[in-house]
Amino acid sequence: MPKQLVDLGGKTMLQRSVAACDAHPDVDEIVVVLPVDLVPGASALVGPTRAVCRVVAGGERRQDSVRAGFGAVSDEATIVLVHDAARPFVSRAVIDRVIAAAVESGAAVPAVPVSDTVKRVTTDAAGAARRRVLETIPREDVWLAQTPQGFQRAVLAAAIDAGAGRAEATDEARLVEWMGHEVQVVEGDVNNMKITTPEDVQQARTQWVEAMRVGTGYDLHQLVPGRVLVLAGVVLPCEKGPMGHSDGDVVCHALTDAILGAAGAGDIGQMFPNSDPQWKDAPGLDLLSRALAAVRASGWSVINADVTVVLEHPKLLPHVPAIRANLAAVLGVATAAVSVKGKTNEGVDAVGRGEAIASHVVVLLTRRHA
């Protein structure tokens, strides 16, 4: 798979790079250059855009692909930006600076200074094991180029023509340099990273996580005769069941509280008050599902949940697989992301005397950038 199609938090690298450019108010049109075999399905790969978007097939070298893309730019365009799809974190501020400098000087490149000492190195005939330092380059003279690089239309056209018969250029600024035109350097952004290695992909994925929040939940119900003992929709054989307005499902109630708390959305009593008759005998899984829908509407989703049930009898262990499966189905996670443990209270207090049942829950939520 081309790295530009790797998923970064719900959107591909390509889609995020296109979206970053499309969000800039001065961008009027976008040309996406893709490998020829991906052009037929380009609409789904690129995603919707505000600006007019065209897709063309690229070439063997970078400058060949840029030539193909430039050929699809409308005649009305006066400033052309060339951006790597492998840089999905480009900011509006960087684009602003590049456009302004391109208008002023004809060619502009964003760059960041290096902080390490820079050595020019050669490798002798013995190979990589015998690399030698030729010189130390003053680091104030070394900057790391980024994209988008911006050009006045005529400057880029001339540069593309000048580079047609030359060796491969690693960026468009190099083409402009070859023809002797000035290239202005503007401030880049260290966050405008180019994703190259698998480690870069993992780092990029974590950057699309806006927040992680931990929530805790607790519920306790008195056990009385004539009520059914239900945990996450699973009926346990017991002569007593939880007393409550709803079904008294301590697992779902504690988990609901944990999710609502992590999202800052109140608690189960506020969302489903016992003064409201519509929640009379309501199944705990139903309340959990409704609360989760409200939290998801705010962009939150569950990563995992850890549930502890405190109950003297019956034994919880035979019912754990069914409880985990039911919870995982509602939460939309793998069963492995839901832990359910049974504990007793060793005869201490009402729970230990078999007069009550309790549950403790910890849940982790995440919300990603749109």
Per-residue model confidence (pLDDT) at position 209 = 64
Per-residue model confidence (pLDDT) at position 128 = 63
pLDDT tens digits, one per residue of 325-334:
999 999 999 9
Residue 150 has pLDDT above 60, yes or no: yes
Residue 321 has pLDDT above 80, yes or no: yes
Q: Over range 117-127, report the average pLDDT.
A: 81
Averaged confidence pLDDT in the chain: 92
Torsion, Cα 335 1 368 262, to 10 degrees, reads 20
Instruction: State whether CATH 3.30.1330.50 applies to domain 209-368.
Output: yes
Q: Over range 12-27, report the average pLDDT.
A: 95
CA–CA dist 239, 247 (Å, integer): 15
Lowest mean pLDDT among 48-57, 66-75, 297-306, 313-322: 297-306
β-sheet bridge partners, residue 110: 186
CA–CA dist 229, 222 (Å, integer): 11
**End-to-end Cα, the chain, rounded Å:** 23
Residue 7 has pLDDT above 90, yes or no: no
pLDDT tens digits, one per residue of 333-356:
999 999 999 999 999 999 999 999
β-sheet bridge partners, residue 300: 367
Residue 370 has pLDDT above 60, yes or no: no
pLDDT tens digits, one per residue of 155-192:
999 999 988 777 788 899 999 998 899 999 999 999 99
Model confidence at 144, pLDDT cuts 50, 70, 90, reads: very high
Which residues make Cβ contacts (< 8 Å) with residue 217, sequence separation at least 6?
A: 253, 254, 255, 256, 257, 258, 259, 261, 359, 360, 361, 362, 363
pLDDT tens digits, one per residue of 100-116:
999 999 999 999 999 99
Nearest by Cα to 283 from 258, 247, 231: 247
pLDDT tens digits, one per residue of 240-283:
999 988 889 999 999 999 999 999 999 999 999 989 999 998 99
Residue 4 has pLDDT above 80, yes or no: yes
pLDDT tens digits, one per residue of 276-314:
999 998 999 999 999 999 999 888 989 999 999 999 999
Per-residue model confidence (pLDDT) at position 89 = 92
Give percent of the chain above pLDDT 90.
80
Alpha helices in 106-181 (DSSP H): 153-162, 172-178
Torsion, Cα 295 9 54 104, to 10 degrees, reads 100
Q: Per CATH, the architecture of 3-111+145-207 is what? A: Alpha-Beta Complex (3.90)
The domain spans of the chain are 3-111+145-207, 209-368
Length of the chain measured in residues: 370
Give percent of the chain above pLDDT 70.
97
The two beta strands, 107-113 and 149-152, are: antiparallel
DSSP tag of 24: S
Phi-psi sector, 209: left (phi>0), alpha (psi -120 to 50), beta: beta
* Higher per-residue pLDDT: 223 or 299: 223
